[in-house]
């Protein structure tokens, strides 16, 4: 974990992710916000790679940057021009307070807790060569019920989305 490539990549990607998430909050135009959100997702995928989670990094790009972002853009397009600003509601100050407090608490807890982490050697041994086969085994082994339920959930979401936005046919 202590090689300079990973260290540099972590800080670079963390900076990109946090800054572009902030930009999602700050920019005025909703479509620009979507673009920055995609950048945040891609940065997050890079951070997944530093955690040697190659499969999930690619899946993250495929699902978030490829699919969810398109959905978001479409939703923005289907709503009227006047609503395409990224305006704030009345909750900005409470929001900032809650978010700041949350971030501070999480950071303090993360630093102060004495985590039961693996030793350096174990960490090196655990830099997963490839995770795909193991994830597949786990999904169809101990977690097969959840896997099946997830497929039912996806089907339900598919049908639900179609039913929701279907135009009633007028005779």
List, in order, residues 6 or more apart from 86 with CB less than 8 Å away: 27, 28, 29, 30, 32, 33
Q: Does 12 bind other proteins (CB under 8 A)?
A: no
Q: Does 16 bind other proteins (CB under 8 A)?
A: no
Q: Does 140 bind other proteins (CB under 8 A)?
A: no
Instruction: Choose, by CB under 8 A, the member of 110, 145, 169, 171 that binds other proteins.
Output: 110
Say if residue 34 is exposed, middle or buried (CB neighbours under 10 Å; 0-12, 13-18, 19+): buried
Instruction: Choose, by CB under 8 A, the member of 12, 124, 148, 158 that binds other proteins.
Output: 158
| Residues across the chain | 171
Q: Does 148 bind other proteins (CB under 8 A)?
A: no
Min dist. Cβ of residue 170 to other proteins (A)? 14
Dihedral (CA of 95, 100, 106, 109) sign: negative
Instruction: Choose, by CB under 8 A, the member of 4, 81, 121, 169 that binds other proteins.
Output: 4
């Amino acid at each position: 974990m202590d090689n300079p490539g990973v260290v540099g990549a972590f800080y670079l990607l963390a900076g990109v992710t946090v800054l572009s998430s902030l930009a999602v909050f700050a920019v005025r135009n909703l479509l620009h916000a979507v673009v920055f959100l995609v950048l945040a997702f891609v940065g997050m995928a890079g951070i997944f790679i530093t955690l040697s989670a190659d499969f999930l990094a690619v899946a993250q790009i495929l699902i978030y940057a490829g699919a969810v972002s398109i959905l978001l853009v479409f939703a923005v397009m289907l709503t009227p021009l006047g609503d395409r600003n990224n305006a704030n509601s009345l909750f900005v100050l409470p929001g900032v307070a809650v978010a700041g407090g949350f971030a501070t608490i999480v950071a303090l807890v993360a630093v102060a807790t004495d985590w039961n982490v693996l030793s350096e050697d174990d960490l090196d041994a655990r830099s997963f060569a490839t995770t795909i086969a193991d994830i597949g085994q786990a999904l169809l082994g101990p977690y097969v019920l959840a896997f099946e339920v997830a497929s039912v959930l996806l089907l339900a979401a598919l049908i639900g989305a179609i039913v929701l936005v279907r135009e009633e046919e007028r005779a």
